[in-house]
Homo-oligomer: A and B are copies of this chain.
Amino acid sequence: MADHPRILIDGRAIAQVDAMDRGLSYGDGVFRTLRIADAHPRWWDEHLAKLAEDCARLALDCPDRATLGQDIAKLQPLPAWGALRITVTRGLGPRGYRVPHPQHCMRILACWPTPLDTVPGRGLTLRVCDLRLGRQPALAGVKHLNRLENVLARAEWDDPHIDEGVLLDQDGSVVSGIMGNLFIWRDACLLTPRLNACGVAGVARARLMRLAREAGMRVEAADFDLATLLAADEVMLTNSLTGLRRVARLGDRVWPEPCISPRLVGLLNA
Contact = CB atoms under 8 A, between A and B. Distances in A.
Contacts of A98: 154-155
A134 B175 CA distance: 15
Q: Chain A at the B interface: mostly helix, strand, loop or mixed?
A: loop
B16 A9 contact: no
A254 to B, nearest CB: 25
A95 to B, nearest CB: 8
Interface of A: 1, 3-5, 7, 9, 15-28, 31, 58-59, 83, 87, 89-90, 92, 94-99, 108, 110, 112, 131, 133-136, 138-139, 144-155, 170, 178-179, 198
Contact of A138 (B90, B152, B154): B152
A148 B144 contact: yes
The 3 closest A-B pairs by CB, nearest first: A27-B27, A134-B134, A134-B136
Nearest to A142: B148
B27 A146 contact: yes
